[in-house]
Amino acid sequence: MPVYTVPKNIQRTAQRAIEYNNSLPIAQRASYEGTGKDRKPGTGMRTARRLSRGKIDLPQAKLMSAWFARHGESEKEAKARQDRTSKAAIAWALWGGNAGRRWVNSIIRREDG
């Protein structure tokens, strides 16, 4: 299975998003599942950790591409992302931001091509 090296700018975006997200009170964080003491990192946090480590595989790239397709076209979420402190903006950064979207879509085009 192919493994892809994450560009440095995407690694930095993910790392900054992790740090910012973790600096917030739990109720204000993006990408956490559960409630109260049972809260655990969600898919966005797991993705950000993979990105910040610098390697992802094809299934992760496909997951990211699908996430961006689902969330990137939403006018409501696009408007929410304008506030860089919103959960939508933090989640977008956890997934690599605009650069992450372009990068994984180029991987998918190349692999499907």
24-45 average pLDDT score: 79
The pLDDT assigned to 28 comes to: 84
pLDDT in tens, 9-19: 999 999 999 99
**CA 21, 26, 28, 32 torsion: positive or negative?**
positive
Are 111 and 58 contacting, i.e. CB atoms less than 8 angstroms apart? yes
Those residues with Cβ within 8 angstroms of residue 91's Cβ, 6 or more apart along the chain or in another chain = 30, 31, 44, 71
On whether the pTM is more than 0.75, the answer is: yes
- Report the C-alpha gap between 93 and 85 in whole angstroms: 11
